[in-house]
Amino acid sequence: MTPMKELKVNLGDRSYPIYIGSGLLAKTELLTRHIRSKQVVVVTNVTIAPLYLQKLLDRLGDYVVETVVLPDGEKYKTLSHVEKIFTHLLEHRFSRNATLVALGGGVIGDMGGFAAACYQRGIDFIQIPTTLLAQVDSSVGGKTGVNHALGKNMIGAFYQPQAVIADTAVLDTLDDRQLSAGIAEVIKYGLIRDIEFFAWLEANVEKLQDRDEKVLAFAIERSCVNKAAVVAEDEMEGGIRAILNLGHTFGHAIEAGMGYGEYLHGEAVAIGMCQAADLSRRLGFLSQEDVGRIIDILKRAKLPVMPPDNLDTARYIELMSVDKKNVDGAIRVIALEKLGRATLPINVELAALEQTLDGYKGA
């Protein structure tokens, strides 16, 4: 068994630890050291509850615990489901010093975090991410929120957790498609700021997919190191944090355009990273060979690299124009200056964008 790793997200008095290791869900003290009061609410969903909820509740015997079990899926990441959490908390007289524990993937983490940010203007919360995507990305950095019919993640808050507990053993029950979706975000870190990690991934992507414990633990740790560094530098995304959105402007358009849940977030991001790479080549930053390396590793990770046939360029552009990175209505995209180095958001001429949307064929 690989030993537990502890990283830190450095945000002054809001700093917090990320614990990474196999079997952490059974370590009571790791969790309870971050709980300040008697009242704890666990938010999870119908898929994760039968797998891991009891294990977590066993750790919380000394507390007054409520559970909120939501339906499973991106399409339920809405205000009305966050409101269910509020109603439950109010009905059970939860007070300002309660702690919310989000046990699940990115959907539960984003909703639980947002509920914690809003309930009585903010209660403590702890992230227990259970998907690879959540362990390497969504549980770290304090972005919380929900979707709106007119745009993904359009309603939300920056709100940091007290701790992130990533138990790699829970990934055993995750299906291969979800694992691949998480690998898309892992590859993203290599592309935007860590060429050494990208090269390591090129050598190890199959082992990652086979859930080799050591390889998985290293990939999660290195991803979190990258994410924590970016977040510590720019918590509220005034600048550099935007690089974490590589592929996301295109990807969010796919998610919204095809209907939330049709493409997994990581799948849409994989396609989006190919499109961002193609655009970067058209802008003169990347070579065709670089683009080929990106497409190749994503394919090896069993991720899609081709945009959906039925999302035409006009609709893409319409969807991309509601992205949060946009300023004064212009579409802004993260490109790659070279492999391992992302640009800040750049205003893209409509013509260049159209060329990528029309011309990228994922060869």
Ligand X SMILES: NC(=O)c1ccc[n+]([C@@H]2O[C@H](COP(=O)([O-])OP(=O)(O)OC[C@H]3O[C@@H](n4cnc5c(N)ncnc54)[C@H](O)[C@@H]3O)[C@@H](O)[C@H]2O)c1
Catalytic residue annotation: 121, 143, 185, 227, 237, 241, 245, 248, 252, 265
Task: Please give the Cα distance from 160 to 117 (Å, whole number).
Answer: 9
Sign of CA dihedral 40, 43, 46, 48: negative
Strands (DSSP E) found in 81-237: 99-104, 124-129, 143-148, 151-158, 163-167
Which of 105, 190, 257, 304 lies at the binding interface for ligand X (CB under 6 A)? 105
Nearest to 235 by CA among 354, 144, 305: 144
Q: Is 265 in the site for ligand X (CB under 6 A)?
A: yes
Closest distance between ligand X and the C-beta of residue 103, in Å?
Answer: 9
**Closest to ligand X by CB, 39 or 142:** 142
Which residue, among 217, 47, 229, 235, has the nearest Cα to 158 in the 3D structure?
235
Length of the chain: 363
Q: How far is the CB of 147 from ligand X (least distance, A)?
A: 7
Output the smallest distance, CB 171 to ligand X, in A. Answer: 6
As a whole number of angstroms, the distance between CA 24 and CA 30 comes to: 8
Determine which residue in the list 39, 99, 127, 138 makes contact with ligand X, applying CB under 6 A: 138
Site residue total, ligand X (CB under 6 A): 29
Q: If you ran DSSP here, which 8-state letter would residue 123 be given?
A: -
Q: How far is CA 221 from CA 18, 72, 157, 311, in A?
A: 9, 27, 25, 36
Considering only residues 13 to 52 of the shown chain, the ones binding ligand X according to CB under 6 A are 45, 47-48, 51
Using rule CB under 6 A, residue 104 touches ligand X: yes
Give whichever of 183 and 283 is closer to ligand X, judged by the CB atom. Answer: 183
Distance CA 152, CA 355 (A): 25
Piece of 53-61, 125-133, 158-166, 232-240 that binds ligand X (CB under 6 A): 125-133
Query: Among 74, 237, 278, 323, which residue sits at the site for ligand X (rule: CB under 6 A)?
Result: 74
The one segment of 15-23, 138-146, 199-207, 215-223 that binds ligand X by CB under 6 A:
138-146
Least distance to ligand X, CB of residue 93, Å: 29
Tell which positions 51-70 bind ligand X, by CB under 6 A: 51
As a whole number of angstroms, the distance between CA 207 and CA 235 comes to 33
Instruction: Say how far apart CA 106 and CA 289 lie, in whole Å.
Output: 33
304 binds ligand X (CB under 6 A): no
Determine, following the binding rule CB under 6 A, whether residue 167 of this chain makes contact with ligand X.
no
Tell me whether residue 102 is exposed, middle or buried, using C-beta atoms within 10 angstroms of its C-beta: 0 to 12, 13 to 18, 19 or more. Answer: buried
Candidate list 70, 98, 107, 295; residue touching ligand X; CB under 6 A: 107
Contact residue for ligand X among 10, 95, 173, 347 (CB under 6 A): 173
Q: By Cβ distance, which residue is nearest to ligand X? A: 106
Closest separation between CB of residue 64 and ligand X, Å? 26
Is residue 90 helix, strand or coil? helix
For the bound state, the minimum distance from the C-beta of residue 5 to ligand X, rounded and expressed in Å, comes to 19
Q: Should residue 272 be labelled a site residue for ligand X when binding is judged by CB under 6 A?
A: no
| Angle between helical axes of 195-209 and 176-193 (0-180°, round to 10) | 170
Burial string for 229-261 (b: 16+ CB within 10 Å, else e) reads bbbbeebebeebbbbbbbbbbbbbbbbbbbebe
Using the minimum distance from each CB to ligand X, give the nearer residue, 123 or 264: 264
Q: Which is nearer to ligand X, 43 or 291 (CB)?
A: 43
Question: Applying CB under 6 A, does 117 fall inside the site for ligand X?
Answer: no
Q: Exactly one of 59, 81, 143, 281 binds ligand X (CB under 6 A); which one?
A: 143
CA distance 120 to 116: 8
Question: Is 183 near ligand X (CB under 6 A)?
Answer: no
Q: Burial code of 8-40, b = ≥16 C-beta within 10 A, e = fewer? A: ebeeeeeebbbbbbbebbeeeebbeebbeeebb
Binding site residues, ligand X, CB under 6 A: 45, 47-48, 51, 72, 74, 77, 104-108, 110, 130-131, 133-134, 137-138, 141, 143, 153, 170, 173-174, 178, 181, 265-266
